[in-house]
Chains A and B, each alone.
Chain A
Amino acid sequence: MSATVIAQTIEPRALRPRSWTLVVGLVLVGAVVATALVSLLWLPFSPEDTTGSRLEGPGGAHWLGTDRLGRDLATQLMIGARIALLVGLGSVAVGAIIGITIGLTAAFAASWLDDTISAALDVVIAFPVLLLAMLIVAAQGSSLASVILAIGLAMSAIVARLTRVLTKRVLAEQFVTAARTSGTRWPGIVVRHILPNIWPTLSVNLALQFGVAVLAEASLSYLGLGAPPPNASWGRLLQEAQGTVVTAPIGAIAPGLALIALVLGVNFVADGLRDVADPSRRRSR
């Protein structure tokens, strides 16, 4: 409802000098993207190669050592990069498509329908993502796609609420009223007036949701959902390494750092984007 919606329109501000965060963010995200691209063409070892010995330490042929089955950790990490990007982009895509559609519908709809949609969104937000994920995994089988779908659906409720309030704000503007009275149909209004006006705020929020999605996937993996190696996410690698944290700490540290780097990078980029999108919010102090 109103409270929560307003809250989502104020996003946390960027840190300090803007250019600095944007650059760091782009470097971090760029590194992950580059790793993911390289992993498509070349990997140090085959992900299913179990010729290494059990829990080798870093150094030698296996730069970061091996896991319990003797698989190369660096290889798993590289594959993890593309899975992390897939989780982030996939979830955001699902969340954005469903969320924006529902949000626009609510904003344009009659009061009763608007209220109903809002009530339903409240319910979805009160529904634990864990259960949603487990329901989808149970129905679809345990795969990355199931987890992405679950996170995307949970996210769509948040995106829908934000879209709805932003759209309503734009609809109240005079130029839109003018367009409406002059006979422009609603698809025209959406494409010409609404989307361009809500997109700056929305895109920043979606960028932040990317990081949230990657973290959510890690938590779900920790609880035992999510696809296992050799094509594991960083979250899943963390979960697998938990039992060997004493004997082979690198297995728990490396994926953790990778995860933090990506989320941090994306958040920095989101902060930078906000300033590009909305220069008025740039601090003068």
Chain B
Amino acid sequence: MIVYLLRRSAFLLVSFLIAMVAIFVLLRLLPGDPSNALLSVTATPEQIAAAQAQVGADRPVLEQFLTWFGQLAQFDLGESFISSLPVGPEIAARLSVTIPLTLISFAVALVVSLVAGVVAATRSDRWYGILISGFSQLGVAVPVFWVGILLVSVFAVGLRWLPSSGFPRDDWADPADALRSLTLPIVTVALVMSASLTRYIRSATLDVMGSDYLRSARAQGSGYSEALWRHGVRNGAVPVISILGIELATTFLGAVVVESVFGLPGLGSMLLRAIEQHDYPNIQGVLFVSTLVVLIIGFVADIAQRLVDPRLRLSISGNR
């Protein structure tokens, strides 16, 4: 296990370094010029030159890269070209929206889909089992933003129960207020996410129920639920854990869409705007954080899976 852990950590580190270099190189391939975002339609040649100097785009690429890596080593993400604000604190502020959004949606989706998935598998002959299966199929086929727009028109514009967009200025100073702003986004994400999770959990449950060990456990006289609990949960959990990891990462990366629908100042909308403006320090900063988060989610999912699955636990030799 320790050998695996070390190996897996080294792997994480290498992946991350590859990602950082790739991001820097890819961004420099973008045609265009970050100074353009600072110009107006009546800019003079001197103003254009001044804008270029302000963003530092006139410096050699290698120099920019070394500066950036040097800063990174000191946990400094640099300053935005456009706003001149430090990148780190802004990302921290944005994460205070995106992380709760992702995690709460995930938790809600997990609870809903665990129940729904098991019910759909065990009660596939009942109307509610069928209904759940139907909804989960539908949920996987619907674009997230479409669900968001629909929810806004019903619950915000129509019924006036919840705000249509935005996030409190004072952030989480009043948690109830912040949660109110996040309710519709969370429901949107959770609906779509639980649809796909339900399908997987239903599938895993069916596999477990049809498995030989469960049959033999029952044949040996254990109670059905006891057998299900003892063998089923652990075996069923193995593939589900990794699906959870993937879903969590996808939701985190996909937050940009739901943040756009609900006008939330999250990490995704920061990335969107930064890309439009070619604000390299901001793009690099966001990707630094998001790549790290996604790779760590994968790492944790792998470890968790090993801890749960006795067969995987026995093997020492890493990822085979």
Contact = CB atoms under 8 A, between A and B. Distances in A.
Interface residues of B, number: 68
B45 interface: no
B143 A131 contact: no
A219 B203 contact: no
Interface residues of A, number: 53
Given A10-B203, A222-B260, A256-B146, A119 B140 contact: no
B242 A138 contact: no
A3 B253 contact: no
A54 interface: no
Interface in B243-275: 243, 245-246, 249, 253-254, 256-257, 260, 268, 271-272, 275
Nearest to A122: B15
Nearest to A133: B275
The 8 residue pairs across chains A and B that have the minimum distance between CB atoms: A12-B199, A7-B242, A3-B242, A263-B141, A126-B294, A264-B141, A13-B203, A3-B302
B203 A2 contact: no
A67 B197 CA distance: 37
Nearest to B192: A215
Interface in A159-216: 168, 211, 215
A76 to B, nearest CB: 17
A250 interface: no
A252 B145 CA distance: 12
A15 B272 contact: no
A1 interface: yes
A97 to B, nearest CB: 22
Contact of B22 (A1, A15, A123, A268): A123
Contacts of B298: 1, 3-4, 122, 126
A6 B200 CA distance: 13
Given A6-B239, A135-B30, A211 B271 contact: no
B31 A138 contact: yes
A126 B200 contact: no
A113 to B, nearest CB: 13
A130 interface: yes
A119 B239 contact: no
B59 interface: no
A166 to B, nearest CB: 14
B243 to A, nearest CB: 5
Interface string B95-123: 00000000000000000000000000000
A9 B204 CA distance: 11
Given A222-B257, A223-B256, A264-B141, A127 B19 contact: yes
Given A3-B241, A10-B204, A123-B15, A283 B149 contact: no
A219 B294 contact: no
16 contacts: A1-B298, A2-B305, A3-B305, A5-B242, A6-B238, A119-B11, A123-B15, A123-B295, A139-B29, A222-B260, A223-B256, A223-B272, A245-B149, A259-B141, A263-B141, A263-B142
Nearest to B287: A131
Given A123-B18, A131-B271, A139 B143 contact: no
Contact of B203 (A11, A126, A127): A11
B320 interface: yes
A20 B283 CA distance: 48
Nearest to B14: A119
A267 B149 CA distance: 24
Given A3-B241, A126-B19, A135-B29, A118 B319 contact: yes
B203 A12 contact: yes
Interface in B269-319: 271-272, 275, 283, 287, 290-291, 294-295, 298, 301-302, 304-305, 312, 319
A26 interface: no
B32 A267 contact: no
Interface string A116-132: 00111011011111110
B200 A1 contact: no
A285 to B, nearest CB: 7
Contacts of A126: 15, 19, 249, 253, 290-291, 294-295, 298
Contacts of A150: none
A2 B260 contact: no
B91 interface: no
A130 B272 contact: yes
Given A115-B11, A130-B256, A135-B29, A222 B145 contact: yes
Nearest to B133: A15
A242 B149 contact: yes
Interface string A252-269: 100010011001100110
B57 interface: no
B130 interface: yes
A130 to B, nearest CB: 6
